[in-house]
Amino acid sequence: MKATRHLLCLALCGVAAFAHGADVSRAPVDVIPLPAQVTYAGEPFNVSAQTPIVVDGGDAAARRAADYLAALTARTRHLPLQVKNAPVPGPAIVLKRDPQALVANAEGYTLDVTPQGIRVVAREEAGLFYGAITLWQLLTPAHGTGDVKVAAVHIRDEPRFGWRGLMLDSARHFQTTDEVRTLLDQMAQHKLNVLHWHLTDDQGWRIEIKRYPELTGIGAWRTPPDAGEGGEPQRYGGYYTQDDIRAIVAYAAERHITVVPEIDMPGHAQAAVASYPQVGVTGRRPPVSPDWGVNPYLYNVDDASLHFLQNVLDEVMALFPSSYIHVGGDEAVKDQWKASPAVQARMRELKLKDENALQSWFIGQMGQYLSAHGRRLIGWDEILEGGLPASASVMSWRGTQGAIDAAKQGHDVVLSPAPQLYLDQMQSDRADETTGRLPSMSLESIYAFEAVPKALDAKQAKHVLGLQANMWTEHMPTLRHIEHAVFPRIDALAEAAWTPAPSRDWHTFLDRLPAQLARYRGQDIGYADSAFAASIEVDRHAAIANGHASVTLSNQSKYGSLHYTTDGGAPGANSPLYVGPFMVNLPTAVKAVALADDGTPLAAVRERVLDVAALRSRTTGELDNCPGSDFRLRVQPTPDATSLSPTYLINVFDNCRLYRAAKLDGIAAISVDIARLPRNYQLAHDAKLVVSHKATTPQGELLVRLDSCKGRTLATLPLPKGGPATFTLQGALARQSGVHDLCLVFTSPITGPLYGIGKVSLLPAEVAAKATP
């Protein structure tokens, strides 16, 4: 074990025994997900441009896998490999399908590297493809181009689960077809095999339905809040033509990925009702929603509305050959059904006891229709409420209980719980993170997820099809946002879905990850480095009082050797190695970076300026929620922002933040950088939880209170009426001594905008005097 890792209590270099009792005595191959069996023996094999990829002449499936491997290796390693038909004399890479292959699973394969060549064998094309992906990873270690030596290994591999999924939400924010292909390419490289494609919701209808052209003519476009201001477009939207969808489905199939479409019903229907009001309950035409959250619009339950949806499903089934069709079924607030005499009459006619039973009947109608056409229904776990058709499967998102209940009733399940597998959860609470929900779900937390709940016995556990991570895009408006959220957490997901549970080991996973990060860089994938980014911590109060600070460095994953500088230079392998807290004199700037064993940076350099002004300031991520609500969300100034920053941490239920442990001795004023943000959130029955703070002016004030949000008011800073979207409020602060919490309360009307705090600075008298006009 290297000394640098030892100092940081980092990853073990040894390798745990793999499944089926295979002993491994060398460091693991840089493959993610980790294969089921790996053994080592003999000398490596050198692959050069003269090494052919050989397939049987009549095997089109093997040829497809070989062509894919050759193209991917040429693009990422700049190593051109020629595909040739057997027989070819001399050393070669052989890809072969063999019905007698020693793998039981259609996605399984064996891979052997000897001094004489490389041989990948599988029963089916999918297995051969995944063997080719593993080989590509062996050909693309962290560094270099061209020729590569591949260690002599024997791999026997197959997936743990048949459903290894990623959900992409294209309804809230629209991705181009090329962007969808980028994600499909990465899914294939991680051996994920299901793209759950969320195509309709309140905020947009993204799939062309020729029988109902207004679904995209109207439903694909929304008018954003504050349209035309601050970079927000006048009109936001887009949709996929049927030709687009056929091309994407075919592209996915070439990579052994099944695309499962989601058409939401009976709730999340506002874009459809905006297009065809007659399929809604009220008969009124709402706008396509610019608001996130839970909207009230439902489909009607009359025969005409059911027929409308069945016609939609006809075209959906013609485009998507998947066995499963996802019908949503989540967050259907029943208020419109309860208020409708016609719906209530329908319930009585059907002899249903309540609206949950009506939803069950509604989902049952769709399930029967899909079943009659040779398809299976899958929906979010709310479809369990009121009963479930026997053939339906459940995707459990409200924790794991839905999966447990469904499996015990004999239904197949996919584990996709929030927040554990929701990729719109931020992956750290760092100040430099971009948008997302909190609490954060780290790389390690996703790696540790176990898809089979302990509450299931062996028979019930067989109903677990697998697991899926969800990429909801309310706060992910661009592909760069999505890439930051997905990568590298998709590596942890892939290993949880593919690798046998006894073989998974967090430490060896970290050892294999630097090579994968290099593959991302080579393919221009904007992955997040949050797990490895250096955190630079000091005791603020001690530093201000003493003029020097004790600096502590760490990172989330506790992986890599941390190096630092205090002289303004960029840290690297030749910079001081962090072995424990070190002292610096103020003012200074500390820069730090985590390096892999070979000296490659695992993350971008992080810098922290240490001077009195900075130590008396807190940025948005350093402010806490006020008591009463744990809801935390990090947003940008506009809903459709195209950059990754700035961001503001807010609570939509209480526009109030806490500045913890402020040292107030000598402080005479406060300065607060603020952004006016749209309150575009539909909260349904939770709207009653929104806190209103009493104001003394129509537009409200920012109040600064001592110790608690009911404490004495130290400052009242009136909010401007109109004006720019970002502004700074500064005012005198009643003199105090000692260390106190400061509660910053916005008293603006809850029917108006939210206010996000970018930074709070405490100013001593001499600074406040200079800053005052």
- 738 Cβ contact partners less than 8 Å away, ≥ 6 residues apart: 663, 664, 665
Q: Alpha helix locations (H) across 191-241?
A: 214-217
Q: Answer yes or no: 268 catalytic.
A: yes
**Scanning the structure block, which residue is given the tokens 């057997």?**
86
- The single-letter code of the amino acid at 240 is Y
Gap between the Cα atoms of 306 and 327, Å rounded = 13
Quote the tokens at residue 770: 């200079």
Gap between the Cα atoms of 606 and 562, Å rounded = 11
Bridge partners of residue 591, in order along the sequence = 565, 607
Gap between the Cα atoms of 130 and 126, Å rounded = 6
- 273 Cβ contact partners less than 8 Å away, ≥ 6 residues apart: 279, 280, 285, 286, 297, 299
Quote the tokens at residue 407: 């499996």
Contact 689, 650 (CB under 8 A): no
Gap between the Cα atoms of 119 and 95, Å rounded = 6
Of 196, 256, 268, 484, catalytic: 268
Of 201, 433, 640, 701, catalytic: 201
Distance of CA 607 to the CA centre of its chain: 26
State which H helix or E strand residue 697 sits in.
Answer: none
Contact 543, 617 (CB under 8 A): no
Q: What angle do CA 640, 635, 489 make, to 5 degrees?
A: 95
Contact 216, 204 (CB under 8 A): no
Looking only at the bridges linking them, the beta strands covering 413-415 and 393-396 are parallel
Of 67, 302, 315, 331, catalytic: 331
Number of Cβ within 10 Å of residue 412's Cβ equals 21
Look at residue 760 and give its three-state secondary structure. strand
Q: Answer yes or no: 43 catalytic.
A: no
Contact 544, 616 (CB under 8 A): yes
742: closest CA among 669, 675, 692, 650? Answer: 669
Contact 750, 690 (CB under 8 A): yes
* DSSP labels, 63-125: HHHHHHHHHHHHHHH-----EEESP--SSEEEEEE-TT-S-SSTT-EEEEEETTEEEEEESSH
Q: Three-state SS string across 126-167, please?
A: HHHHHHHHHHHHHHCCCCCCCCEEECCEEEEECCCCCEEEEE
Considering only the C-alpha atoms of the chain, give the largest distance between any 2 of them, rounded to a whole number of Å: 88
429: closest CA among 632, 628, 591? Answer: 632
End-to-end CA, the chain = 60
DSSP state of 170: T
Looking only at the bridges linking them, the beta strands covering 200-201 and 194-198 are unpaired
Distance of CA 166 to the CA centre of its chain: 9
Looking only at the bridges linking them, the beta strands covering 292-293 and 258-265 are unpaired
Number of Cβ within 10 Å of residue 7's Cβ equals 14
Contact 269, 202 (CB under 8 A): yes
Q: Answer yes or no: 201 catalytic.
A: yes
Q: Which residues are catalytic?
A: 201, 268, 331
